[in-house]
Amino acid sequence: MARGTAIRRARVACLTGVDAAAGDDYRMHSASDRGQAAYQAGDYLHRALGDVAARFLCDRLRPNMTIGLASGRGVALTVDRLEDMAKDRREWMSGYQDVRIFSLSGGSWQGTWAMPFNRPLDADANVFHLGTILHVSPDIRTYVGSWLLAGERAAEQASYEGVHLDLAIVGIGQLNTGHHFLRPDAALQLESMSSALATIREFQGKEGDEQASIADICHVLFYVGTGQPHDRLIEAINRLNNVMSTPPRKTLESAEEVILVAGGAQKEEALYHFIKGNCRDAPIDPGRVTLITDSWTAERILERG
């Protein structure tokens, strides 16, 4: 797969029992039976990918590394699986107490779509749990906090000056479904950005390419595709990016290695354009990426050429 795209390498899992994640049913209302089945299958798909990613992560861990973690299912379920592995083989997690861990995005409670999970999936929670697994001192774990870097919080943003990531673990979001930016429970925290979000909803609601026109990595939004986006859409993306609590782009772009955990029909459009090198405004370099995905998604991407 890497030979046909711009990424460094890929790990592709052949999965069973998640067929509902490979169709368009995720576009249906979450209260419908088919929509709920698709959302649940997407959760279980990412849990399986988290297992693959955790095993790959074990091989990449080194003492004194600097690691960055994003939010979302792929990252959280990778950390969760690593915790299970640590219980079985405690010696695998020894010697990493000097690893530095950084949150790569702000946020609050983010959860799975339909699969029960007992903790938030935001980046700060992922940092806390990985730090606990690796016995990292709280003094060398860096958290971000809320989604927005606004007003009085500007001076409180975590410092990334001089930070060079040896490894980043991220997912990719596609703003064509109930992305957490667009859910009703985010309205209060993102109230100051309501007009920008309304513009995105307007374009997402239209038929055609605009339905899958925006993606995010580490809560940095970028345009998906090869065409020229509408000026209003770019303005909305820029407004949101200017106030989101994220590390400087150079911190993300210069990460030595990136593990990207994502798959399923919901992520296909974003993944395709990103790993083909079509997303010039994406915050990470596809040439540094190891993609952890499923065989259906990999085949779909290769079929598109």
Whole-number average pLDDT of the chain: 86
pLDDT digits (tens, 9 = 90+) for 165-180: 999 999 998 886 566 6
Q: What is the pLDDT of residue 153?
A: 46
Q: What is the pLDDT of residue 18?
A: 92
Q: What is the pLDDT of residue 152?
A: 41
Tell me which residue of 254, 290, 265 sits closest to 275, measured CA to CA.
290
In this prediction, residue 148 has a pLDDT band, given cuts at 50, 70 and 90, of low
pLDDT digits (tens, 9 = 90+) for 237-281: 999 888 888 888 999 999 999 999 999 998 999 999 999 999 989
Q: What is the pLDDT of residue 15?
A: 94
What percentage of the chain exceeds 70 in pLDDT?
Answer: 84
Q: Which of 44-58, 145-159, 275-289 has the lowest mean pLDDT?
A: 145-159
pLDDT digits (tens, 9 = 90+) for 114-142: 667 778 888 999 999 999 999 999 999 98
Q: What is the pLDDT of residue 185?
A: 57
Mean pLDDT for the stretch of residues 184-210? 72
Is residue 154 pLDDT above 50, yes or no?
no
Mean pLDDT for the stretch of residues 143-162? 63
Is residue 155 pLDDT above 50, yes or no?
no
Q: What is the pLDDT of residue 157?
A: 60
Is residue 289 pLDDT above 90, yes or no?
yes
Q: What is the pLDDT of residue 300?
A: 95
The residue among 228 and 284 whose pLDDT is bigger is 284
CATH of segment(s) 2-304 = 3.40.50.1360
Q: What is the pLDDT of residue 36?
A: 84
pLDDT digits (tens, 9 = 90+) for 73-102: 999 999 999 999 998 887 878 899 999 999
Q: What is the pLDDT of residue 259?
A: 98
The residue among 181 and 291 whose pLDDT is bigger is 291
